[in-house]
Amino acid sequence: MGILNKITNKVGNLNTGGSNAQSSFNFPAGPQAQAPNPSLIPRYRKQRGVNLGSWFVLEGWMAPNSVFREAVKPKSSDMDVAQGGNAKIILEEHWDNWIGDEDWNWIKDHGYNSVRIPVSLR
């Protein structure tokens, strides 16, 4: 009997519950399903998100006329705004108004489940 016939017989016995099925192959039981750990759900779910840039890390190209209106030149960084006039008022206004309730509702209504909020480490 050739090797192909031996394999065919062995597979046939497994599929039909033949006599060699129990004695030749003792497969261990598969893993049991466990409830997911809630802390791991965000790690493995499909992420669909948006970037909330220029909220805490200012980016001149995103908001050139609002937060940078009194910044010193080159008007491209947080430091330029801080060194300009009325920095405290301008920054607090920006932080309070850049992302509002209507933005959060839009994000939710469009099915996004994550947001990216850039934060500077400097």
The string of pLDDT tens digits covering residues 1-49 is: 577 777 767 666 655 555 544 455 566 777 787 888 888 887 888 889 9
Classify the C-alpha dihedral 74-77-79-85 as positive or negative. positive
Output phi, psi for 116, to 5 deg.
-105, 125
Condensed to tens digits (0 to 9), the pLDDT of residues 45-80 reads 888 999 998 888 888 788 767 889 999 998 888 889
Tokens standing for residue 113: 């489940």
DSSP letter at 118? -
Nearest to residue 67, comparing CAs of 51, 86, 52? 86
Rounded Cα distance between 39 and 9, Å, is: 48
